[in-house]
Chain A
Amino acid sequence: MKSSGPNTNESWWRQYNYWHETVLAMLIVGLLLSASVLSPSFTTVKTQVGLSSDMWELALLALPMTLIIITAGIDLSIGSIMALSAVVLGMTFEAGANPWVAAMCGIMAGTACGVFNGLTVAKLKVHPLIVTLATLAAFRGIAEGISLGRPISGFPASFTELGTGTFGGVPIPGLIFGVLALLFAIALARTPFGLSIYAIGHNPLASRYSGLPVARITVAVYALAGTVAGLAAAIYVARRNTAKADIGTGLELDVITAVVLGGTSIFGGSGRILGTLLGVLAIHQTRKFVGWYWDREELNFIVVGVLLIAAVLLNRLFDKKTK
């Protein structure tokens, strides 16, 4: 929340508080422009829609992660929660349940994992980095244990539509993401819950002394992350027609990278869904273009790593300027 009021002493660009988003947007536009010169086929709608297929889980998880990081927390376990949800989904389905019912079970399992994280952070006051480092291993371990590492597939087409279908030319996961992104953006900018999240991130003590339900909100954001991870798992399972204990491996780092790239401060208190959207988009476009143009997977790691550090350095540089 870098809101600053109309103050006549300051020039307009000092008050403009969307600098980070603007820079990112320009970066993305610049990338797409260079791409359209270097490889025109990359920037067609068809290609972009096609390439978006594996973006949605990352994008979905970035939403609750934004909230968590705004509260000055972190969740390293979301990739593992996704795996556990997927396995619960798969095993429920295998046991004969309707896939949609199975998906609900998976989402519930995800929520339960999130609640566990949240309660440990909020009630026992263990540092979220430590809590989720431990549950990163534990949740995936449980997923491996109950599934014995097997893949479960054979989901009916009516269910896989969730991951592969389109509606009016837009992939269904994209629609789900769009709706959720809107809900998260509204929640963050326009609900008491959202303002409380910022307040807690800036100053948990003052928040408590203002009567905000700090513990409850903390549990809620981690639970929300679990729920969304469950949903992402359902979409993944539908898209790849496979439920397995190794899905989402390492996804947490990608998600954190996207959120931080989007301008959310790792120290809490500031960040916006718009920034996160752009962060996700920046990573996605960069990766896809590198893959598209060079067909060399290893370059991606370098580009994304440098992008992350550069973005944060840049933000620092510019932060000093506005202060």
Chain B
Amino acid sequence: MPPLIVTHELGKTYGTVRALGGVSMSIDAGEIHALIGENGAGKSTLINMLSGVVALSAGTISVAGKPLLTGSVPASEAAGIAVIHQESTAFAHLDALDNIFVGREPRRCGGLLLDKPRMRAEAKRLLESLGETLQEGLALSALSVAQRQMIAIARAISVDCKLLILDEPTASLSQRECQALFAAIQRLKAAGVAILYVSHRLEEILALADRVSVFRDGTHVETRDAKGLNKDDLIRAMVGRDVEEHDRGVVTAPGAVRLSVRGLTRAPRFRNVSFEVRAGEIVGMAGLVGAGRSEVAATIFGADFPDAGSVSLDGVPLRAGDVRAAIAAGVALVPEDRQHVGLVLPMTVGENLVLTVLSSLARGGLRSLSAEAAVATEQMKAMAVKAASSAVVAKTLSGGNQQKLVIGKWLAAKPKVLILDEPTRGIDVGARAEIYRLIRRLAAEGLATLVISSDLPEVLGLSDRILVMRKGSISGELARAEATPEKVLALAMPQEKPQAVRA
């Protein structure tokens, strides 16, 4: 039997940045095909290509021998490709029946009315085939993540689904819910559906998958039979990048404790998080997406209220839940989502750069345009922002330049502690290196820096010390000298006991 899906030399570039290249793989009907790789390895790009959300820059996809019209969601749907995303793209206000059928509802009475009995029966059948019961009349937002996921899968298989793509389906499921999901997946497999299973949970993959494809740095590294593999094999395959390119260079001795976090808790996102960052030190924070790292950062920054615990700067406690107090004390946060949280995109580069220091630049209540221009020019130069002038709208800049803008905005405020959340996500290699250099320079100047990153080489290369978070708490701390990708991954991966590694 020929494979169901065949990709040939798929490639995607954004501008000059290559997100993915040379992907040639195949998936068989009734196969569970796992896809692994670090964050940013290109897994999402592949998913988006298959589902038609992004257009290909190169290559072809064929489904059951027929070429697929790429870059079109309806075409992918018609070909029987469905995706269950990590974040729900469903209708939170609507119930299970609606979510399964909206857009292609069974009808009666000449197409006027919903055929509720049929919907109900059909939904029941679909959900039961997944080992789930139908709960009618409850809005999706009232259901558990696992139930929502089952409904999403039910929607996917309510039409003739040939390939079901599951993107990190177990990220927020309990052990029992996971088992239910696996059972459902096995049923689908038995029914001949091909499954592309993306996960960080290596044990799951070993237990479920028939074959495993490994992605690294935008390339398809290899595809192997899962049989006979163990976790270490997988980790080795995922990590393979040259860590040395991020040489820390001159390491100054860290100074006094700047940022001190004690017992910080914001249930259910994270619990009892304690750590310190010293002046001149770069502390990396590794972990999987959803481990609670960004939430810790937002709470330190005062954007969220903690349930318990304290944050102090130079020994002085910060007022909880008060961004302005945190900023005044010298905390700066470069958020993960620079487009929506980091910048005001429709405003100009100059305006964005002075946003944090607006009042202090004012003279007699008025904005001093010359002082603002001076700050903007200085930061643009310091950050090497590539823009025609400070009057260019931030939206028009590339991702890397936008990120420099966010960092520049905070440096203008002369912070004591800089927290960077995924500072290089979606940024091309050149800009990436510039940002690394910058972070190192700033640390050398005495800034206490906390870098949150899912990019292992990045964390390893930049940090003096690495904290690893798993499921809302710190699972371990590694000194620079002892840190290896394998150790970090081992600490970050769930369902495993922490290795005996400590600071």
Q: Are chains A and B touching directly in their complex (CB below 8 angstroms)?
A: yes
Q: Give A177 Cβ to nearest chain B Cβ, in Å.
A: 21
B335 on the interface (CB 8 Å rule)?
Answer: yes
Distance in angstroms between the alpha carbons of A211 and B413 in the assembled complex:
10
CB contacts (< 8 Å) of A196 on chain B: these are: 358
* B365, closest chain A residue (CB): A191
| B252 interface residue (CB < 8 Å to A) | no
* Complex: chain B residue closest to A1, CB-CB: B347
CB of A207 within 8 A of chain B?
yes
Contact A210 B392 (CB under 8 A): no
Question: Do the beta carbons of A212 and B355 come within 8 Å of each other?
Answer: yes
Please count the residue pairs between chain A and chain B whose beta carbons lie under 8 angstroms apart in the complex. 94
A44 within 8 A of B: no
| Inter-subunit contact B335/A209 (CB<8 Å) | yes
CB-CB under 8 A from B342, the residues of chain A are 206, 209
Whether A203 sits at the interface, judged by CB under 8 Å, is yes
Give the 5 A-B CB pairs with smallest separation, nearest first: A5-B391, A192-B358, A211-B327, A210-B355, A5-B392
- Chain A residues within 8 Å of B354, by CB: 195
How far is A208 from B298 in the complex, measured between Cα atoms in Å? 12
Shortest Cβ distance from residue A201 to the other chain B in the assembled complex, whole angstroms:
9
Size category of the B interface is: 35 or more
> In the complex the two chains form, is B347's CB within 8 Å of A202's CB?
yes
Map CB proximity to A onto B338-350 as digits: 1 under 8 Å, 0 otherwise: 0011111111100
Interface: A47 (CB within 8 A)? no
- Would you call A154 an interface residue if the criterion is a C-beta within 8 Å of the partner chain's C-beta atoms? no
Give Cα distance in the complex from A6 to B351, angstroms.
16
Of all chain B residues, the one with the shortest Cβ separation from A194 is B367
Could you show 20 A-B contacts with beta carbons less than 8 Å apart? A4-B392, A4-B393, A5-B348, A5-B387, A5-B388, A6-B388, A7-B388, A194-B367, A195-B351, A202-B347, A203-B340, A205-B340, A206-B341, A206-B342, A209-B301, A209-B323, A210-B409, A211-B323, A211-B356, A213-B324
Q: Which of A207, A210, A213: most chain B Cβ within 10 A?
A: A210
A46 close to chain B: CB less than 8 A: no
Kindly supply a per-residue 1/0 record for chain B positions 454-473, scoring 1 wherever the CB is within 8 Å of any chain A CB and 0 otherwise: 00000000000000000000
A202 CB contact (under 8 Å) in B344, B366, B409: B344
Which residues of B (348-395) have their CB < 8 Å from a CB of A? 348, 351, 354-356, 358-359, 361-362, 365-367, 369, 387-393
Q: Would you give the 0/1 interface string for A179-202, flagging 1 where the beta carbon is closer than 8 Å to chain B?
A: 000000010001110111011001
CB distance from B137 to the nearest CB of A (A): 27
Interface string of B393-427 (1 = CB under 8 A from A): 10000000000000001000100000000000000
Most chain A CB within 10 A, of B327, B342, B355, B393, is at B355
Shortest distance from the beta carbon of A250 to any chain B beta carbon, whole Å: 33
Q: Report the Cα distance A195→B391, complex, angstroms.
A: 14
In the assembled complex, the CB of A26 is this many whole angstroms from the nearest CB of chain B, namely: 26
Interface centre among A6, A190, A211 (most CB of B within 10 A): A211
- Assuming the contacts A199-B355, A203-B345, asked whether A3 and B391 have C-beta atoms less than 8 A apart, the reply is yes
Report if A269 contacts B (CB, 8 A). Answer: yes
Taking the nearest CB of chain A, how far is it from the CB of B47, in angstroms? 27
Q: Is the CB of B327 within 8 A of A206?
A: no
Is the C-beta of B303 less than 8 angstroms from some C-beta in chain A?
yes
Q: Mark B286-318, 1 if CB is under 8 A from A, else 0.
A: 000000000000000101000000000000000
- Chain B contacts for A192, CB-based, 8 A: 358-359, 361-362, 367
* Closest chain B CB from A13 CB (angstroms): 17
Number of interface residues of A (CB under 8 A): 28
Is B340 a contact partner of A206 (Cβ separation < 8 A)? yes
- Cβ of B347 and Cβ of A208 under 8 Å apart? no
Residues in chain B near residue A202, CB distance under 8 A: 344-347
Chain A CB within 8 A of B333 CB:
yes
CB proximity to B under 8 Å, residues A185-242: 186, 190-192, 194-196, 198-199, 202-203, 205-213
B303/A208 in contact, CB under 8 A = yes
Asked whether, in the complex, the Cβ of B355 is within 8 Å of the Cβ of A269, the reply is no
Q: Are A206 and B358 closer than 8 Å at their CB atoms?
A: no
**Which of A5, A194, A199, A210 sits near B390, CB closer than 8 Å?**
A5
Question: Which residue of the partner chain B has the closest CB to A270?
Answer: B346
- For B361, what are the chain A residues with a Cβ–Cβ distance below 8 Å? 192
The answer to whether B323 and A3 touch across the interface, beta carbons within 8 angstroms, is no
With most chain A CB atoms within 10 A of its CB, the pick from B328, B342, B347 is B347
> Which chain B residues border A206 with CB–CB below 8 Å?
340-344
Identity of the chain A residue whose Cβ is nearest the Cβ of B355 in the assembled complex: A210
How far apart are A240's CB and chain B's nearest CB, in angstroms? Answer: 35
Contact indicator B346/A1 (Cβ below 8 Å): yes
Please indicate the chain B residues that have their CB under 8 angstroms from the CB of A7 in the complex.
388, 392
In the complex formed, the residue of B with least CB distance to A213 is B324
B248-260 interface bits toward A, Cβ cutoff 8 Å, 1 = contact, 0 = none: 0000000000000
CB distance from A51 to the nearest CB of B (A): 35
- Minimum C-beta distance from B252 to chain A (A): 29
The interface bits of chain B over 262-303 (1 if a CB of A lies within 8 angstroms of the residue's CB, else 0) are: 000000000000000000000000000000000000000101
How near does chain B come to A268, taking the closest CB pair, in angstroms?
A: 10
**Cβ–Cβ contact A195 & B343, under 8 A:** no
A199-B362 in contact (CB<8A) = no
B372 to chain A: closest residue by CB: A195
B324 neighbours in A (Cβ, 8 Å):
211, 213
Set of chain B residues within 8 Å of A213, measured between Cβ atoms: 324
Residue numbers in B under 8 Å from A4 (CB-CB): 391-393
Residues of B within 8 A of A194 (CB): 367
Contacting pair A1 B340 (CB below 8 A): no
Give residues 83-99 of A contacting B (CB, 8 Å): none
In the complex, A213 Cα to B198 Cα: how many Å?
42
Query: Inside 8 A of A6's CB, which chain B residues have their CB?
Result: 388-389, 391
Q: How far is the CB of A53 from chain B (nearest CB, A)?
A: 33
Residues of chain B within 8 A (CB-CB) of A191 are: 362, 365-367
Which A264-320 residues have C-beta < 8 A from chain B?
Answer: 269-270
Q: Is the CB of A195 within 8 A of B335?
A: no
How far apart sit A205 and B341, CA to CA, in the bound complex (Å)? 6
Q: Are A199 and B391 in contact (CB under 8 A)?
A: no
Interface residues of A in 112-152 (CB under 8 A from B): none
Chain B nearest CB from A85 CB (Å) reads 27
Give the nearest-CB partner of A9 in chain B.
Answer: B388
Taking CB as reference atom, which chain B residue is nearest A209? Answer: B341
Alpha-carbon distance A221/B340, docked complex (angstroms): 24
Excluding A4-B391, A213-B324, 9 further A-B contacts by CB distance (< 8 Å) are: A1-B351, A3-B348, A3-B351, A3-B391, A5-B389, A7-B388, A195-B367, A199-B355, A203-B343
CA A186 to CA B365, docked complex, whole Å: 10
Looking at B323, B346, B366, the one whose CB has the most chain A CB atoms below 10 A away is B346
Q: Which residue of A lies closest to B301 (CB)?
A: A209
Docked pose: A5 CA to B390 CA in angstroms: 7
B231 CB, min distance to chain A CBs, angstroms: 38
A195-B348 Cα distance, complex, nearest whole Å: 11
Q: For B347, what are the chain A residues with a Cβ–Cβ distance below 8 Å?
A: 1, 3, 198-199, 202
Which of B346, B366, B409 touches A186 (beta carbons < 8 Å)? B366
B485 smallest CB distance to A (angstroms): 32
* Interface contact A208-B323, CB-CB below 8 Å: yes
